[in-house]
Amino acid sequence: MYHLLSSRRSQAVKSRKSGRSELLKAAQLEFEEQGFDGTQTNAIARRAGYAPQTFYRHFPDKRAIFLAIYLDWAEAEAQALAKADTVPAMIDTLLDHHIAHRLFRRSLRHLTAIDPEIAAVRAQTRQQQMGAITARFPHLAAIEALTLIFTLERLCDAWAEGEFEACGISREAARAHMSTILMSALRVAP
């Protein structure tokens, strides 16, 4: 009897983790397609194959799932950057990541400006990014690392949004200049 109850409990835990995972995948797609303001929790649940009330078993609201996706996004970016072994590879990693999540990033920038909780989580993430940069490049001061984060973040968003091209600068020229900025900041040879 215990084995049967234990097995059911194990399946329920597995199903709960699977449900959360499916909701995260669905929400990421919704945020990428609709932005934060255009996304409904019911649409997330339906896209994941669940009834709308299932969403609230895993997340209290839309902001909570957005933050969970942001933390996953930041971790994926950090892991990809850790594997990049040259400055051009780092720039390509950042650009690929920003362009793949362009609308999500747009929502993130907007929400950071108007939502104190999202701004606080984003500040924590940036502090972790500063720590990772100064650990990998110990000659950089924290202010240099943070300035580099802000600079590259904005440039990558501009690249993803087509702002360089709108001003008559090719994507390749912009990418090359970002590499120059990063090489200079890190004080590495080309």
At the top level of CATH, the class of 62-190 is: mainly alpha
More confident residue, 188 or 143: 143
Tell me if domain 1-59 and domain 62-190 are identical in fold.
no
Q: How far apart are CA 81 and CA 132, in angstroms?
A: 10
Whether the pLDDT of residue 11 is over 60: the answer is: no
What letter represents residue 19's amino acid? G
Q: How far apart are CA 106 and CA 115, in angstroms?
A: 14
Give residue-wise pLDDT tens across range 140-177: 999 999 999 999 999 999 999 999 999 999 999 999 99
Which sequence spans correspond to the domains of the chain?
Answer: 1-59, 62-190
Question: So what's the pLDDT on residue 171?
Answer: 96
Residue 141: other Cβ atoms inside 10 A: 10
Contact 62, 117 (CB under 8 A): no
Whether the pLDDT of residue 10 is over 80: the answer is: no
Give residue-wise pLDDT tens across range 62-119: 999 999 999 999 999 999 999 999 999 999 999 999 999 999 999 999 999 999 999 9
Contact 77, 56 (CB under 8 A): no
CATH of the structural domain 1-59, one choice from 3.30.300.130, 1.10.3720.10, 1.10.10.60, 3.40.50.1000:
1.10.10.60
Question: So what's the pLDDT on residue 16?
Answer: 57
Give residue-wise pLDDT tens across range 36-69: 999 999 999 999 999 999 999 999 999 999 999 9
Q: What counts of helices (H) and strands (E) characterise the chain?
A: 10, 0
More confident residue, 12 or 16: 16
CA distances, 148 to each of 59, 69, 185 (Å): 34, 24, 7
Angle between helices 41-48 and 62-83 (to 10 degrees): 60
Contact 36, 81 (CB under 8 A): no
Contacts with 147 (C-beta within 8 Å, 6 or more apart), sequence order: 185
Whether the pLDDT of residue 13 is over 70: the answer is: no
The pTM is what?
Answer: 0.85
Radius of gyration of the chain (CA): 20
Question: So what's the pLDDT on residue 1?
Answer: 56
Q: Is 189 helix (H, G, I), strand (E, B) or coil?
A: coil
Contact 77, 125 (CB under 8 A): no
Q: Let me know if 44 is exposed, middle or buried by CB neighbors in 10 A (0-12, 13-18, 19+).
A: buried
Q: How far apart are CA 21 and CA 47, in angstroms?
A: 12
